[in-house]
């Protein structure tokens, strides 16, 4: 059963935190990219994709994430992903998402990782 996407954004200086709930599928891509264009595409230097703990991501969702990561890379933005299970951490490593985004356990860890990279 598919759960509808809900994406909210919190701004923290030059960091946009995308709180993502629901299933991440090919149907999520328009919502994800529209949210990115409104918040992340306007000079924000860092993005955190904070997934709800029980997120379901299928192959279409991985493609949607990949498209967002390509746009962020083209805009020289750092990206971190939080809240995903060990299963998805492994999958993201296998498909190369972890080459374009830091995989962190929490938003706080992602924020501190950005600080360390900026130093």
Looking at the chain, the whole-number percentage of residues with pLDDT higher than 90 is 62
Q: Name the token pair of 11.
A: 């701004």
Please state the rounded mean pLDDT for residues 85-102.
94
Q: What pLDDT, on the 0 to 100 scale, is given for residue 39? A: 81
> Span 19-47, mean pLDDT?
86
**pLDDT tens digits, residue range 55-70?**
889 999 999 999 999 9
Per-residue model confidence (pLDDT) at position 70: 94
| Sheet containing 78-82: order of strands | 6-12, 15-21, 46-51, 78-82, 102-104
Among 3.30.750.24, 3.30.300.30, 3.10.20.580, 2.60.120.10, name the CATH number for the domain at 6-105.
3.30.750.24
Domain residue ranges of the chain, discontinuous segments joined by +: 6-105
* pLDDT at 107 exceeding the cut of 80: yes
């Amino acid at each position: 059963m598919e759960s509808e996407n809900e994406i909210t954004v919190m701004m923290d200086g030059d960091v946009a935190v995308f709180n993502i709930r629901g299933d991440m599928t090919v149907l999520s891509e328009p919502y994800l990219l529209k949210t990115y264009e409104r918040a992340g595409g306007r000079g924000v230097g860092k993005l955190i994709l904070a997934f709800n703990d029980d997120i379901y991501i299928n192959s279409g969702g991985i493609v949607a994430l990949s498209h967002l990561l390509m746009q962020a890379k083209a805009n020289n933005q750092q990206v971190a992903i939080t809240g995903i299970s060990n299963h998805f951490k492994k999958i993201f490593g296998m498909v190369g998402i972890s080459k374009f985004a830091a995989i962190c356990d929490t938003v706080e860890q992602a924020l501190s990782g950005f600080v360390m990279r900026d130093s």
